[in-house]
Amino acid sequence: MTAPAPRPARRVACPGCGAPAVYGPENPWRPFCSERCRAIDLGAWAAESYRIPLREGESEAPAEKAPGAAGGPDTPDG
């Protein structure tokens, strides 16, 4: 009996530059094509460049606690 042929490595588009990148254990930076693309993406994440856009009518301020909720303005511990 012969061993099955190894499957070809799956290739995906690098999220950083769009170049083909091997998506498998032999690529330590997967899904990125290189350490450079991974570092650039991490830098963008750390600089808070990735944001979810607000919908119409939403404010950027965090939601306030409801009155009477634990730690709220109407309780002795707040």
Fold of the domain built from segment(s) 11-46: Erythroid Transcription Factor GATA-1; Chain A (3.30.50)
What are the structure tokens assigned to 52, written together?
Answer: 């979810």
CA distance 28 to 33: 9
- Residue-wise pLDDT tens digits, 9-53: 899 999 999 999 999 999 999 999 999 999 999 999 999 998 888
Sign of the C-alpha dihedral computed for residues 8, 9, 13 and 19 taken in this order: negative
pLDDT tops 80 at residue 1: no
Question: Taking a C-beta distance cutoff of 8 angstroms, is the pair 39, 17 a contact?
Answer: no
pLDDT of the residue at 71: 55
Where in the chain are the domains? 11-46
Q: Which residues pair with 22 in a beta bridge?
A: 11
